[in-house]
Structure 1
Amino acid sequence: MKISLHIFSVHENEDQFQQLPASDLKKLDTELAVNEWLFFTYTGGCEIITIAEENKKPLTTAELQECIAQIAPQFSHCLKNTRELHSETAIIQLLKNIAGLHEDRSGRLLLEPIRDAFELAIEEGFAGPILHYLFQKGIWLHEKIRMESSYYKFAVNPATVLRELAGKIFGSVKNKCIHFIGWHEDFQKVVTELSAAGAQDFLLHCTKPRFVHPKIRQSNTPPSKINGQLETADMILIGELDSDFQLQKSAIARRMTAQNNARLLICNYSTNEKIIKNVKRIYNVFSYEKAELTHLIKHNTNSRDAVLPDITTWFEHESKEFFRWLESDKRYSFAGMVGASREMQRIFELISRVARTNVTILIDGESGTGKELVARAVHNLSSRSERQFVAVNCGAIPDALLESELFGHEKGAFTGADYAKAGLIETAEGGTILLDEIAELQPHLQVKLLRFLQEGETKRVGGTETRHPNVRVLAATNKNLSDLVEAGTFRSDLYYRLNVLQLTLPPLRERGKDVVLIANYFLKRINKSFQKEVQEFSSEALQALIEYTWPGNVRELENAVERACALAVGSKIAIFDLPPALQNQKQDSGRPTATEVSLTLKDMERQHILSVLDHYDWNYEEASKALAIGRTTLWRKLREYGVEQKP
């Protein structure tokens, strides 16, 4: 695959690029004619990544500029400064963008516009499994950096530094009132940052109205009267002024009296250091010069740079892993699961996002859709992967034993409790526990599980000691828990605790050609286990797999492939090797009968060959073609079975 990343930047005074509407993106898709692509815009530029076959000549940067300018003329004057990256360099750059290492000119992480553009590209079909993989991996790297390094602890954006400083002083900037005296170029970003954190009121004192952030109220106040209008301020930010101004000690004293000496933050962004000279030593007034904030940014930048080499090796490693994945047959695989459909790629993406957190996840879906596989993927991609993964089937353990199995018991707690035993939740210490068939949990156990989820506490049966196991809880069900809540058989508070995040697995019948991908995956694995040389499915067999509705989902497909591989003679699985349900396209389970189970592999092969011969009225030519073996092999098999002629 040829992978290219084109980066276009604009001059400092240019407006932000606007994302192209879907109609223009479709035109661009026609012009590009590549396998997959993603186009995203941000303040100061735009980028487009293209993925094409090796034999396709990609568009040059100049051709791409012309193409975009024709579709969106408003971009023509902006596409001037360009940079072009290829292969591994392009992949590392994109992964860093997604992981949040790069910002645009406004201080906004590029992850945000990429996420929005990716969602649109998925809907329109511009992004496929390769971009899915990269987006998932970028999100995973973001979480890895956040959890395993101090990189994100050091803010380097001036507006973010101010917001964090205010957070340390006030605890929270929610509902705070910010007064601006004069203006500074950083104040636009400050308003965006503080309003996102919950600040509500922004007031600008200036002699002339000016075009500023829409959330700012403007007060046409001359400098001589500003000192009399600061009583409501929680923060005072001072920019450049047209005339002389000095913050008066008496004005701050009035403000402190009006707000019962509540803390006040003052930052001087102007070049005149005398402005806040008089208020530096007032109790509960925190005052800073711009130079002090700049020094803090420099310190944070140096701290980030110190950990960056380790982080860079992560990106280099993941880039190499990507190209190995791209060249292998694992392109549609993710953490032990297989799927190219939009539904499953979305599931894979969500797993990447939440695996490294400790959030509780409810996994639901029909029986056989792979709920335990999803749970294992979450565990294996988390920081708990080195510790135990414990799966408990709540419906398979008798009610009388389940409490003891989950929470443990003390010696003598009940008849037969001859020794103390740790529960499965304790056993999973530091790791993950999956509570499968959670809907089968009885009411008294629901109460006990709820306490563990809320307080992190457990008590063994018959015990008084409170334990605090460090365990992540995942739950799975094939039932609709919200319906059970309405019916009164499942506690609503437990449901909400479990359902922090819900992953709903689609049934196999809704996953399109994933059926073929999964069938080939099972064939390769089972073929190796059976020590056979079955390589593929016949076209008729593939069509049967696609058309069948799979009421048993992935589990039924695995059983069907195992049966077919056992029966197959030669290198291909024929339609007659599949279960009767697929041959006849009837909606039954396709499971082997008790008689079939008792047969040896040789007996099943003999029975299968004879049924194919019967179907073709013992026409050896047609039968051997259907069985994907030569006529000589067919005759040899018949002699082995003692069959010389049609019985």
Structure 2
Amino acid sequence: MASEIISIGLKLPWIENRIILKELVSGNFREFLSAIKRKTYFEEAMAFHTPYHFEGVFVSDDIDQTIRSVKDVYLSVFPVLSELPKGVFFEWERGESIRHFFEVLLGIGTPIIGDVKFLENVKEGYTQSLESELTGPVLNRLFQSGVKFYKSIVDDSSLFTEAVTIESAIVELGRHIFGNIRHIRLALVGDSAEGPLLYRYFRQLKFKTIQKRMLKPDALIPETNRNLPNETFDILVRLEQKPPAAAWKAHVSEQLKPRRGTPLLIIDLTDQAPEKIVDELLFCYNRDDLQAIIQKNFNDRQKEVPGLLKRLEKEVEEFISWQYSRERFEFSGIIGKSRKLQQVLEMIARVSTANTTVLIEGESGTGKELVAKAIHKNSPRAEKSFIVVNCAAISETLLESELFGYLKGAFTGAVSQKKGLFEEADQGTVFLDEIGEMSPATQAKILRVIQEGEVRRVGSTQTIQVDVRVIAATNKNLKELVEQHKFREDLYYRLKVFHIVVPPLRLRKGDVPELADYFLEKLSQGAGKRIVGITQEAMALLQNYPWPGNVRELENAIERAVIMTIGQHITPTDLPREIQFYEEPSAQNTSEWATLYEVEKQHILKTLEYYDWNLGKVTEVLGISRATLWRKLKEYGIQGKENK
């Protein structure tokens, strides 16, 4: 059965002021994620909460089991849910789940449609899910697609430019009256439950001055320092627990005296009509006025929803098309769905848009150059040069002249002036492969390029400015080389600003089928043969082999098989002999051999017990997906810890 996306969350329309939701959010959200990881059967998961949502998104091939186990987690982590009416949960499946996720990002169906906090809240939940190693290729793609869709709406629509909350309505009025809010001085006068929320919101917007003040009969006194003199403000926000009426009226009059033609905006959030103060520079609004602004904006936004939903449908169709295609397991030429590789791909996605140096470590043949290309391809420098330099394949003298260039006559054979590769790659990326082979003298010059953006040609005293991103790779342990004084410590730490370790193929054998099929399609076309697949027996041999040469060795093995086969399928006899006859080293020395069925069952049981049924850790150690583990548990009749 194919894996599907499922959304499971809480329906809270009857709860006034979202009291229950606030209680859930104030609880340990990470505990909820941990419980999901321990007790739920799924391949991937992501959870988040917004002012109107609390839900999880899952990828699973057993929808019913996932729904049951997720509901159990909700009730165990948040017992208050058992006190709510029946039907507290909602469930979306497949395309409906994808559509719902996009709607959440836009706030569709809520009173504050289009508010940016929806994206911020979902991003926070996604980040925590990612850190908890719950997400994978499908949910990573879903989140990135959602963010891209959100940004396209922001660029094309007025949906996100109008006020939908009390605090944003105050800012909208301030901008309308004063223009640039960075010159506005604002005071919150009095106190209320929403006071801290308003204060935090206004601080983020960088008003010129923001103060919380308590008004006494004789003065407007700063809450934090009662000896400060009065100041002139542009906006006064009067909170629910209002200051004395006479003192408030007197102070407003005082605020109007020194204004010299500058308006004063008063926002009265009390439940009573404000004291009458007549002045042509005074603009007064109460909560009802703000609600009217919000309602008008809401009505305007609702008119845009049909158009948004049409665009959203297209996004859903594109995502579903991707989900069921081979492209699902590819990212900029990197193929695989294992959790270890997906973590690498997520790091690539995050660092690509930055301009920092990157150090890629991994064994030979793991695809370090592909990782570097993916970073460049997804960066703002993608249209500029990507230059690869194999530091191990070039002598020290030649490497320096290749990297930095030289002047005519700088050395024997320098018959003309030549630009170095750093100059050629200006505004692009230079990939220094096997940087551990570089001499200390050249290392010092590389450090200068990274720190100062300067190169000096061989034979020259003049420096040249370059704008180059440096990505380095090595199959050696650079930290050990630093300890042995074979690699500069300062360069090591400059390179390791962002560190990616590419896992060897033996630790992600679940990627072997996708990689083998990819190489088969590519190489059979090149050989002019029509080979449609790999037999189960041959694939089993490929997955059993430890691949000391990693992905490069796998590609070579498939290339040989394409040449050797005479049929439409790759068979065991087409594979290299070391793969055909490979035997797993074993310490067992007995004439009584258990069946493969029993060996696998016992191995899974021992791993489960060792890791106290932490399914996330078990799947990582076994190198299988959660869906595969769940099928094995059902096949072998292994019950969950809580049912034993």
What TM-score do you get using the length of structure 2 for normalisation? 0.66
Partner residue of 2:581 out of 574, 579, 584 = 584
Say if 2:249 is the partner of 1:243: no
Residues 586-625 of structure 1 mapped to structure 2, 5 A cutoff? none
Question: Offset at 1:4?
Answer: 5.6
Letter in 2 for 1:134: L
Does the 8 Å contact 1:5/1:84 carry over to 2? yes
> Does the C-alpha gap of structure 1 residues 348 and 154 become closer, same or farther in structure 2, counting only changes over 3 Å?
farther
Separation of aligned partners in 2, 1:197 and 1:277: 30
- Residues 219-618 of structure 1 mapped to structure 2, 5 A cutoff: 222=216, 224=218, 227=221, 229=226, 231=228, 238-240=237-239, 241-244=242-245, 245-246=247-248, 269-270=267-268, 319-585=316-582
The structure, 1 or 2, with the larger RCO (C-alpha pairs under 8 Å, 6+ apart) is: 2
Deviation at 1:584, TM superposition (A): 3.4
Please tell me whether residue 94 in structure 1 is matched to residue 101 in structure 2. yes
Residue pair 2:422, 2:466 contacting (<8 A) in 1 also: yes
1:262 maps to which residue?
Answer: none
What letter matches 1:344 in structure 2?
Answer: L
Q: What CA RMSD, in Å, does the superposition of the two structures yield over aligned residues?
A: 5.5
Other structure's SS at 1:110 match: helix
Q: Which moved more, 1:575-584 or 1:396-405?
A: 575-584
TM superposition shift of 1:323: 2.5
The offset of 1:369, in angstroms, is: 0.7
Q: In 1, distance between residues paired with 2:450 and 2:545? A: 41
2:627 corresponds to which residue? none
SS of the equivalent of 1:416 reads: coil
Q: What's 2:139 paired with? A: 131
Question: CA distance change for structure 1 residues 90 and 468 in 2, over 3 Å: closer, same or farther?
Answer: farther
- SS of 2:499's equivalent in the other structure is strand
CA–CA separation in structure 2 for the residues paired with 1:563 and 1:3: 39
- SS class of match (2:48): strand
Tell me the distance in 2 between the aligned counterparts of 1:315 and 1:535.
37
* Equivalent in the alignment of 1:627: none
Amino acid at match of 1:551: P
Aligned-partner residue type, residue 128 of structure 2: D
CA–CA distance in 1 between the matches of 2:152 and 2:374? 16
Distance 1:142 1:388, change over 3 A: farther
**Which digits, 9 at most, give the CA deviation of each residue in 1:105-127, with x for residues without a partner?**
7995321123324554x44xxx5
Contact 2:331 2:345 in 1 (8 A): yes
Change beyond 3 A, Cα 1:239–1:231 = same
Offset, 1:450: 2.0
Deviation at 1:12, TM superposition (A): 4.8
Q: Give the whole-Å Cα distance in 1 for the aligned partners of 2:427 and 2:309.
A: 28
SS at match of 1:496: helix
2-side partners of 1:353 and 1:144: how far apart?
A: 20
SS in 2 for 1:387: coil
Number of corresponding residues = 539
1:316 positional shift: 6.7
The question of 1:75 aligning with 2:73 is answered: no
* Contact 1:136 1:352 survives alignment (8 Å): no
Note if 1:183 corresponds to 2:191: yes
Question: Residues 452 and 84 (structure 1 numbering): CA distance in 2 closer, same or farther, change over 3 Å?
Answer: same
In 2: Cα distance, 1:187 partner to 1:232 partner: 23
Matched, 1:110 2:107: no
In 2, the alpha carbon distance for the partners of 1:446 and 1:151 equals 52
Deviation, structure 1 residue 350: 1.8
CA–CA distance in 2 between the matches of 1:463 and 1:314? 58
Counterpart secondary structure, 2:455: coil
* Structure 1 residue 434 displacement after superposition: 1.1
Please tell me whether the aligned partners of residues 379 and 432 of structure 1 are also in contact (alpha carbons under 8 angstroms): yes
Deviation string, structure 1 residues 43-99 (Cα, Å, up to 9, x no partner): 33223445566x9789999x9999967995523638889988776575355357679
Once the two structures are TM-superposed, the CA of residue 558 in structure 1 deviates from its matched residue by 1.2
Residue pair 1:98, 1:135 contacting (<8 A) in 2 also: no
Secondary structure (helix, strand or coil) at the match of 1:434 reads strand
Is residue 36–residue 70 contact of structure 2 (8 Å, CA) maintained in 1? no
Q: Which amino acid aligns with 1:507?
A: P
**Alignment match, 1:618:** none
Cα separation, partners in 2 of 1:274 and 1:566, compared to 1, 3 Å: farther
Instruction: Identify the residue that residue 612 of structure 2 maps to in structure 1.
Output: none
Amino acid at match of 2:142: L
Aligned-residue offset at 1:577: 2.8
Whole-Å Cα distance in 1 between the matches of residues 504 and 266 of structure 2?
Answer: 60
Offset of 1:22 from its aligned partner? Answer: 5.5
Task: Please say if residues 220 and 230 of structure 2, whose CA atoms lie closer than 8 Å, have aligned partners that are also in contact.
Answer: no
- CA distance, structure 1, for counterparts of residue 467 and residue 306 of structure 2: 32
Bigger CA drift: 498-507 or 577-586?
577-586
Indicate the residue corresponding to 1:14 in structure 2. 18
Cα deviation for residue 370 of structure 1 reads: 0.4
Contact residue 531 and residue 570 of structure 2 kept, 8 A: yes
Spell out, residue by residue over 1:233-256, the C-alpha distance to the aligned partner (whole angstroms, 9 max, x if none): 99997542142344869999xxxx
AA matched with 2:343: R
5+ residue gaps in structure 2? 108-112, 256-263, 586-644
Question: Contact 1:135–1:349 at 8 Å: present in 2 too?
Answer: no
Structure 2 CA distance, aligned partners of 1:421 and 1:288? 71
**Residue 413 and residue 449 in structure 1: after superposition, are their counterparts in 2 closer, same or farther (change >3 A)?**
same
Q: Distance in 1 between matches of 2:148 and 2:52?
A: 26
Identity among equivalent pairs (%): 34
3-state DSSP of counterpart to 2:326 = coil
Letter in 2 for 1:336: G
